[in-house]
Structures are given as structure tokens and as C-alpha cells.
Amino acid sequence: MSFTKGALAVIIGVLVAGIVFLVCEQLNATLYKLPAGMDMAALDRAMKQLPVNGYVLILSGFTAGSLLGGMAATLIAGRQYVRPAIICGIILTVGSLINFFQIWHPTWFAITSFFCFIPCCYLGYLLVRRK
């Protein structure tokens, strides 16, 4: 696998995961009536008032997005290479850490989602790899 093909696979994997994340977060904002155009303080208050079901929906989006991102990275890189899927998971994990330091989240959610990205990207690889 060439560097360019691997890099493209990682970028597309992260984009696929991000699109799924955004769809689930928009659904969450619609279901729980989060106001549009909030500043960080208002978003912090809204996150503290979000019910557990809202966090479960976001966590489901993280899981599905990571799985699909890992699958996309594997399919683009060549179905025998695991590295792009793992790198995709690492990038998503780092992004979530940045998010957790910027916006308040319950501890259970932060811990659970922290351990979600890399395993789900790896599972995406396992589902489409060439045996």
C-alpha cells in the first residue's frame, strides 16, 4: 500500500465517521430541542440538562460512525491492511478528548466513548478484511 493510498483511506474513514456523528448529533438536537447558534456557555448548560437517552444516542452515533469509518478506511486501503482503520480510530479518539476538554460531558459518557473509537474501527476492519 502506498503512503498516498493509506493517507486517503484514513482521511475518508475519518470523514465517514464524522458524517455519521453529525447526523446523530443533529437528530439529538432535534429530539431534545437544543437551540441553534449557542455559545460555549449555553452549550455547556444544555449538555448538563441532556437526558441519558440523548447521551446514548450520541454514543450510538460514535459507535456506528467508528465502525463505518474503519470499514471505509479498510476498503480504500486494501482489505488486507489494518493500519488505516487503527489510525482512523486514534484520530477519532484524540478528537473526542479535545471535545471532552472543551464541553462538559458526564464522566460515564466520556469514559465509555473514549474506549469506543479504536475497537469499533478495528471491528470495521474485521468485517471487511480479506481472509
Of 8, 7, 124, 125, whose CA–CA distance to 65 is shortest?
Answer: 124
pLDDT at residue 47 in the model: 85
| DSSP code of residue 37 | S
Handedness of CA 44, 55, 24, 114 (dihedral sign): positive
- The residue to which cell 429530539 is assigned: 31
pLDDT at residue 61 in the model: 96
Residue 53 neighbours by CB under 8 Å, 6+ apart: none
Domain boundaries, the chain: 3-33+40-128
Q: Distance between CA 127 and CA 93 in Å, rounded?
A: 21
| DSSP code of residue 35 | P
pLDDT at residue 129 in the model: 92
- Residues of the chain falling short of pLDDT 70: none
pLDDT at residue 43 in the model: 79
Handedness of CA 36, 23, 57, 94 (dihedral sign): negative
| DSSP code of residue 36 | S
pLDDT at residue 1 in the model: 74
pLDDT at residue 45 in the model: 83
Q: What pTM was estimated for this model as a whole?
A: 0.90
